[in-house]
Amino acid sequence: MVVTSHDDVSLAIDVNDLVKECSLQPQNLADTSISYAEILGELKRAKVNLDRHRAVMALAIRTDPSAYGLSKVTESALQETLLVDPAISAMQNEVIDLEVAVAKSQGMRDAFISRSSLLRAEVELYVNSYYSTDGNTTVKKPLLVKPSSREKISSVMENKVIKRRQRRGEEKKN
């Protein structure tokens, strides 16, 4: 799938199906990056073809100015003749259209890069039990960070140490 416009794919993240979203994200980013590279290559080829055509036309005008309605060749007359040439105008319009397409494609690629960060954040929310399922609807509940196993063990051990010290303190008094 080559992504050529924003209509081809959705940037929205379905929080109810994060597995699917995570599995599709790399391919979507790759597709938009490939599309961007292909359009950028087309733009470079179009610019080269425009430059070549302008050079060929300029050489032809300098060789036979009378064929282009000129009595003598000046730089300004040459540029004006090139400017009104229908083939050059069409090629310039093609370059402009490709520049717009490159900008759109780059925007899509950047959007998918940003989407990666957002998807990562959604996964973190899910892992931290921010979302709970209630039937078919997703219900947001307050973010509760559960103590990790290490914290639980540490808390239990501290309590045991405190109790031991208290017992020792009672034994010394007796």
* Residue pLDDT, tens place only, 146-167: 445 446 555 666 766 777 777 7
pLDDT higher than 80, residue 137: no
- DSSP assignment letter at 68: G
Which residue do the tokens 């000129």 mark? 70
Bridge partners (DSSP) listed for residue 140: 131
Quote the distance between the C-alpha of residue 147 and its chain's center.
36
pLDDT at 4: 44
Query: What does pTM read for this prediction?
Result: 0.63
Query: What is the maximum span of the chain, computed from C-alpha positions, in angstroms?
Result: 125
Give percent helix, percent strand, percent coil of the chain, each to the nearest 5. Answer: 75, 5, 20
pLDDT of residue 102: 95
Task: Please check the confidence at residue 140 and state whether its pLDDT lies above 60.
Answer: no
Asked whether the predicted pLDDT for residue 127 surpasses 50, the reply is yes
Token digits of residue 148: 């990790």
Q: What is the pLDDT of residue 131?
A: 63
DSSP 5: S
Mean pLDDT over 20-40 rounds to: 88
Query: Which of 28-37, 54-63, 137-146 is least confident?
Result: 137-146
User: Cα 134 vs. chain centroid, distance in angstroms?
Assistant: 33
Cβ neighbours, 10 Å, residue 63:
9
Question: pLDDT at position 106, please?
Answer: 93
Average pLDDT, stretch 93-111?
94
Mean pLDDT across the chain: 79
Question: Is residue 1's pLDDT more than 50?
Answer: no
